[in-house]
């Protein structure tokens, strides 16, 4: 067994300090350190974990047009969203470098290259040298998410080498999009990091399906959110938690092997950093009879074109 074949990977299933960026970053740093202490070489967090998933939308009438309440909550979201250009992730990058660990972090991103006043649901890949290698903005927000997140682009549809593995990441229901999956497979992806706001209904089936379709390992990293996790000063708090279930997001983070078997079964309703070992040789074994972009593909018949240009509303020539 060669040392680069084996990778220790971690799922950080924790709750944010909701809509409080700096306090949530402290939880990110603590989880990275815990994962590194457990010998993990890659740790993943849930979708929009920093500073939190927009749970208020379905609980407070998020579609009401021009509502002062919705404007207040949206402004708070903008104030606490992540602007990478402003250095909001610098401490995370520095710790990744110090602990020699790669990080996939779900962020509500407020990018300067789109004017700085809209939010994108982004998966950020930080390598073991603490360098941000890609920022993938979710191609299409799901249902009520479109009330607060903007559609992304293909710039972040990229993979990254980590030991023998080729790592890719998609946000939530992008993992149900066949062409988005195909774009990652075509780049040699054999370790998918699927990030979710949290929920057994999301992770239980699709994690194993992608593993078997791609003959790859799949990490599903989910968030966790309970009514008591909302800060006391949250606007419209009573309305948000009134009649709320025990879990608004119950986690269910898990890891599936290329044959569809569980490495870590869905972890429902528990907070923690869960570590598993994966072996690249299993990928090679399972590609024996099926490789959807290799020996079992027909690019002369079907072929995908992917636009990875970062979209912007203006291009300045000085």
For 3-286, CATH number out of 3.60.110.10, 3.40.50.300, 3.30.1360.230, 3.60.20.10 equals 3.60.110.10
Cα 231 to Cα 4, 23, 52, 75, 251: the distances in Å are: 43, 11, 12, 17, 19
CB 274, CB 10: distance < 8 Å? yes
**Looking at the predicted structure, is the pLDDT value of residue 281 above 90?**
yes
Quick check: 195 and 171 in contact, CB under 8 A? yes
- In this prediction, residue 3 has a pLDDT band, given cuts at 50, 70 and 90, of confident
Q: What are phi and psi of 126, to 5 degrees?
A: -115, 125
pLDDT exceeds 70 at position 303:
yes
- The span from the CA of 145 to the CA of 150, in Å, is 9
Q: Tell me whether strands 272-279 and 165-171 are parallel, antiparallel or unpaired.
A: unpaired
Q: Which two tokens stand for residue 155?
A: 């710039």
Work out the pLDDT band at 1, boundaries 50, 70, 90. low
Confidence of residue 143 (pLDDT cuts 50, 70, 90): very high
Q: Is 76 exposed, middle or buried (0-12, 13-18, 19+ CB in 10 A)?
A: middle
Would you report the helix, strand and coil content of the chain in percent, each value rounded to 5? 30, 25, 40
pLDDT digit string (tens) for 18-70? 999 999 999 999 999 999 999 999 999 999 999 999 999 999 999 999 999 99
Q: What is the pLDDT of residue 2?
A: 83
Contact 27, 49 (CB under 8 A): no
**Three-state SS string across 86-103, please?**
HCCCHHHHHHHHHHCCEE
Give the predicted TM-score (pTM) of the model.
0.97
Q: pLDDT value at position 169? A: 98
**What is the pLDDT confidence band of residue 275, given thresholds at 50, 70 and 90?**
very high
Whole-angstrom distance, CA of residue 193 vs CA of residue 220: 6
**pLDDT > 90 in the chain, percent:** 99
Contact between 294 and 287 (Cβ < 8 Å): yes
Q: Which phi and psi (to 5°) does residue 249 adopt?
A: -145, 120
CB 112, CB 140: distance < 8 Å: no
Q: 312 φ, ψ to 5°?
A: -150, 160
| Mean pLDDT along residues 222-246 | 96
Residue pLDDT, tens place only, 61-118: 999 999 999 999 999 999 999 999 999 999 999 999 999 999 999 999 999 999 999 9
């Amino acid at each position: 067994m060669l040392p680069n074949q084996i990778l220790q990977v971690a799922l950080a299933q924790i709750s944010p300090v909701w809509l409080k960026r700096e306090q949530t970053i402290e939880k990110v740093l603590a989880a990275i350190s815990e994962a590194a202490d457990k010998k993990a070489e890659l740790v993943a967090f849930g979708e929009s974990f920093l500073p939190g998933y927009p749970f208020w939308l379905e609980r407070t009438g998020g579609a009401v047009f021009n509502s002062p309440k919705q404007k207040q909550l949206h402004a708070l979201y903008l104030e606490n969203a992540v602007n990478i250009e402003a250095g909001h992730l610098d401490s995370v990058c520095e710790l990744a470098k110090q602990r020699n660990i790669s990080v996939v972090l779900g962020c509500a991103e407020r990018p300067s290259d789109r004017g700085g006043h809209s939010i994108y649901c982004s998966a950020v890949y930080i390598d073991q040298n603490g360098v941000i290698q890609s920022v993938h903005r979710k191609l299409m927000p799901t249902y009520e998410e479109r009330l607060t997140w903007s559609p992304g682009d293909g710039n972040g549809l990229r993979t990254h080498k980590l030991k023998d593995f080729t790592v890719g990441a998609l946000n939530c229901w992008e993992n149900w999009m066949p062409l988005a999956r195909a774009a990652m497979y075509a780049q040699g992806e054999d370790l998918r990091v699927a990030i979710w706001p949290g929920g057994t209904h999301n992770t239980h089936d699709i994690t194993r399906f992608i593993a078997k379709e791609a003959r790859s390992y799949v990490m599903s990293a989910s968030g966790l959110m309970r009514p008591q996790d909302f800060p006391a000063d949250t606007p419209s708090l009573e309305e948000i938690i009134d009649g709320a279930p025990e879990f608004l997001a119950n986690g269910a983070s898990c890891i599936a092997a290329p044959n569809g078997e569980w490495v870590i079964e869905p972890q429902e309703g528990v907070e923690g950093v869960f570590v598993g070992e994966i072996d690249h040789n299993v990928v090679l074994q399972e590609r024996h009879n099926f490789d959807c972009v290799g020996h079992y593909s027909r690019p002369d018949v079907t072929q995908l074109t992917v636009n990875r240009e970062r979209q912007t509303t203006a291009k300045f020539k000085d």
